[in-house]
Structure 1
């Protein structure tokens, strides 16, 4: 590599300016702390030369990593765990970078209003078809009864005093308190928890204020579920990141007889999940150009085939065993994803 700028030998000192360790003129970097061995003052030109050099250096690792992921499924993970790492980006950091980029792209192009409007239109069309197949008189009577029932519910006002709640067990009291707060907000639309609790003559503490605010959120979410959908979607990068270690644990159990430790399975998981984000990110962009959802469907099938090939190359097992474990992995992933989604939705109701 040709030396220039601050790397020239004439600027090298005999002592590290950072940690004061003795150095020789042949030392480009301090062998103790890693700082550049130079006495030259930093100039504008030097600063930008080093800046772009670091970008191109990372770009080289980026290129090798992307090419390895695309055309050598599973082998990049095998190289990494066997110590051939210098030309590849760190799998954990690279995963985070790609996932953030993916969710930025999907966030820009996914229209939650359109999704919910489309679902509502489909529900309305289905309802219209069902009503048209029924007797008009019966339909009118049924609708009238439904309206009366709704009006009755609207007029109901649930109230339990603090004294009554104190006589109940914990779970019953929680349920009755929740209904009281929802009913009070429905009638008064009072947003202030303190004012509402004063009106209800309930004790004002962190617990009761929290419950009242949650009851308001729950009612608003029933009327506008898109807000919860957006909230959950924005948290997905972090949710998936913390979910993957549990998935790696299931992979470790499936391949418990193979000579891989937990962290090596986790490297494989991060690489395959990164590939999933790359494929789906490209597919979303193509779908936006073509105004269809064909590319996303194709990308999903490509990823499934990719995952099979990655498992075959990384774990080095025969085709029959790999197919069985591939199916098992997908079933377990679906189960874990369902549990994770349920926990996320329930948790979001309390922190949104």
Structure 2
């Protein structure tokens, strides 16, 4: 129950952050009783909003208005969202192109949508139980090896006694002998593992003192806490995916002067927003009883198809041009993920 409450709180928090970047367009006409001058900067009002600072001329002070703003702002229920989401799902290229070319007020801005989708993803993950484990430390390695060794010795002795009790012409004798030989081999391997003395020599040493004394030491001493911090940092620094991804998209178009870095930023941000929402939908479907195979098949089909269509129509490419760029971008994605994880690990070292 606490996970659900925490998840809802995270979703609301995400909505509030997205509102900061993408405030509501609101009414265009002045309300009756509005002041003549802006209450924020004193400029004379000529409409529902101050043309100098952008503040609404209508300042309400009722609890009902406050609750309306909370629902309207936190959960982002407005026309722009319902115009943006269908286009993001079915016509991502047209959405990206129209936003780049100037239709900014009609759609939710890419960054606002990305922030909302990220907060929503982690909120849903918390509600469905997709969180990092905290007890990854488990029992001591030597204790586990000793337990396996004791069990194997016990089984070997039992098999040996059974073999000695069998008649020379017993049809099961060959199978029992084979099992005894396998157990002897297993015991030899366990002895080799014990000789490594894993408890003392399992640490990773990079050769860089500050890295060994910070990041490596923290992961060795408390892997559960570090996994939790890794998840939290992924949530806080997910926006790093955008600047990391932009140079790789630029490599696909650097000789075409028509497309600027801004165009790539809009494309990347909208694409990341869709992929995030896709994982949200997949986690909900999985929690509702849909088989993992079906969920995986859905993601494996929709994600590349959407990326191809998004790439082709955003940059108005031919099928061949879109295909080779899609294949290259699919490879770049793994590099981006690796760089992002490395960045999170470095952040966790401090």
Same fold (TM over 0.5): yes
Shift of 1:44: 2.1
Once the two structures are superposed, the pairs formed by residues 58-77 of structure 1 within 5 Å of their partners are 59-77=78-96
- Structure with greater proportional helix content: 1
1:110 maps to 130
Higher relative contact order (CA 8 A, sep 6+): 2
After TM superposition, the structure 1 = structure 2 runs for residues 1-352 of structure 1, keeping only pairs within 5 Å, are: 7-8=31-32, 11-22=33-44, 27-37=47-57, 42-44=60-62, 47-48=65-66, 51=69, 55=73, 59-108=78-127, 109-110=129-130, 112-113=132-133, 135-144=182-191, 146-147=193-194, 149-150=196-197, 174=209, 211=213, 217-221=218-222, 225-256=223-254, 257-290=256-289, 292-293=291-292, 294-345=294-345, 347=346, 350-351=349-350
Measure the CA separation in 1 of the matches of 2:98 and 2:266: 11
Q: Deviations over 1:101-137 (max 9, x none)?
A: 11221234215449979xx9xxx99xx9xx9695433
Q: Which moved more, 1:70-79 or 1:46-55?
A: 46-55
1:308-340 C-alpha deviation (Å, 9 max, x unpaired): 011111111110111001000111121232233
Q: Is the 8 A contact 2:28 2:48 kept in 1?
A: no
Counterpart CA distance in 1 for 2:36 and 2:309 is 54
Alpha-carbon contact 1:284-1:296 (below 8 Å) kept: no
**TM-score under structure 1 length normalisation:** 0.66
Instruction: Determine the structure 2 residue equivalent to 1:198.
Output: none
1:64–1:3 CA distance, 2 compared to 1 (3 A): closer
Cα drift, residue 30 of structure 1: 3.5
Structure 1 segments unaligned to the other structure (5+ residues): 157-170, 179-210
Which residue does 1:168 correspond to in 2? none
Q: How many pairs align?
A: 280
Contact 1:19/1:33 (CA < 8 Å) preserved in 2?
A: yes
Give the TM-score of the pair, scaled to structure 2.
0.66
Aligned twin of 1:162: none
Equivalent pair of 2:96/2:266 in contact (CA under 8 Å): yes
Contact 2:125–2:131 (Cα < 8 Å) also in 1: no
Structure 2: any 5+ residue segments left out of the alignment? 1-25, 142-146, 153-177
Aligned to 1:7, what secondary structure does the other structure show?
coil
Q: Distance in 1 between matches of 2:326 and 2:192?
A: 53
- Aligned counterparts of 2:77 and 2:180: Cα–Cα separation in 1: 65
1:270–1:133: structure 2 CA closer, same or farther, 3 Å change rule? farther
Q: Report the more deviating stretch, 234-243 or 280-289.
A: 234-243
